[in-house]
Amino acid sequence: MKLFSCQACGQVLFFENVRCEHCGHVLGYLPDKTTVSALEPLAGEAWKALAAPQNAYKFCRNYSHGVCNWMVPADDAVGFCAACRHNHVIPDLSAPGNNQLWARFEAAKRRLFYTLMRLHLPLENRLDNPQHGLAFDFLADEARTHAQGVMTGHEKGLITLALREADDAVREKVRGEMSEPYRTLLGHFRHESGHYFWDRLIGGDDNRLAEFRALFGDERQDYAVSLQRHYSEGAPAFWQNEFVSVYATTHPWEDFAETWAHYLHIVDTLETARAFGIKVKPRVNNGELSAVVDFDSHNAASMAQLIDAWLPIAFAVNSLNRSMGQPDLYPFVLAPRTIEKLAFVHALTHPAARTEQGGKLVNA
């Protein structure tokens, strides 16, 4: 995520801000300009955006629920922003607490869409493609079932999110029970979007399927059997040599979704590091832990360029966290095989950077 500033006073802003605390301007995110803009009122619901004064905008319809700060053109007939147009089912907002939990999910979802849009990935919704468009169901458990009901998952473009996951205490409890080093709402979105983009970018392409199977394995193996084996037997020995996480060992589809999520983790965090001018140059150094993020991570020339910057940055922030008595920010090890899988994802998201060599698509 890049840094933003108020066009009226220069105050540094967060992506989620709806008001500048310095000058009081109302703020909104303009997805067509990839920026947070200070706003000035026009007639009716319309606003003048100081970042694009020639255009008139209005807030997404979900702004009224306090869950979205994205904007649409003032004459937009649908009224939902580029991210909220993918919502299929939202929680019952008359139930106490549901609005607050949904707002946390929406904050994470907008960060997902920021990255997907920066990568210029195909984003059809259910109006564009009723059968396979990307859509989200935010579902709450019935009181009698609580944590026994809704399960987070994906099926043919429809991503289901269990509303209880937005409760920090519930999510931390599940993380402990699953022995996971990392579990966040943004992580859920990034992982589940990986299943959607497997269908969109790989499933119908014989060449990409062959490449996928060579790296991740044959996805035609029985998923239910693989899942049962995972939960009964756990991860295979030395799984770290092949996979980014324990859950990635479950099935080739899960391996891809986990790898996809980590690719998005890396790209977005490196953009933040670049925005803050962060560089790593340890006083005790053998030359391998230095990094300067002086490139646009969304348009990196290769996975190698991303990894060369990411590994020192991750080591540094993990060390800072440990100094505060906190767990590692990025508690994962990227083995050479995992980096090879990440390079496959990079090639998928950057088709212009791929060339034909011996019939195989590779990073240019």
Reported as a single tens digit per residue, the pLDDT across 81-109 is 999 999 999 999 999 999 999 999 999 99
Do 209 and 338 belong together in one domain? Answer: yes
User: What's the number of CA atoms in the CB half-sphere (13 Å) around residue 297?
Assistant: 24
Domain boundary among 200, 218, 233: 200
Say what the pLDDT of residue 278 is: 92
Same domain, 280 and 308: yes
How many Cα neighbours within 13 Å face the side chain of 2?
A: 15
User: How far, in Å, are 216, 274, 294, 350 from residue 277 at the CA level?
Assistant: 36, 5, 8, 25
One domain, residues 226 and 358:
yes
Q: Are residues 97 and 224 in the same domain?
A: no
Verify that 271 and 321 share a domain, yes or no. yes
Residues 243 and 169 in one domain: no
- Domain, as residue range, for 121: 83-200
141 with 281, same domain: the answer is no
pLDDT digits (tens, 9 = 90+) for 42-72: 999 999 999 999 999 999 999 999 999 999 9
* Span 132-163, pLDDT tens digits: 899 999 998 764 443 456 677 788 889 999 99
Here the tokens at position 292 are: 């300067």
Per-residue model confidence (pLDDT) at position 353: 54
Amino acid at the residue 256 = F
> Same domain for 152 and 3?
no
pLDDT by residue (tens digit) across 279-335?
Answer: 998 887 766 788 999 999 999 999 999 999 999 999 999 999 999 999 999 999 999
Residues 208 and 357 in one domain: yes
- The structure's pTM equals 0.91
Query: pLDDT tens digit string along 226-259?
Result: 999 998 998 898 999 999 999 999 999 999 999 9
d(CA 226, CA 237): 16
* 220 to 215, 216, 236: CA distances (angstroms): 14, 12, 20
Instruction: Count structural domains, the chain.
Output: 3
Distance CA 131, CA 201 (A): 16
Domain end among 200, 227, 246 = 200
* Length of the chain (residues): 364
The answer to whether residues 163 and 105 touch, using CB atoms and an 8 Å cutoff, is yes
For 91, half-sphere exposure in the C-beta direction (CA atoms, 13 angstrom radius) is 27
Task: Specify the pLDDT at position 142.
Answer: 61
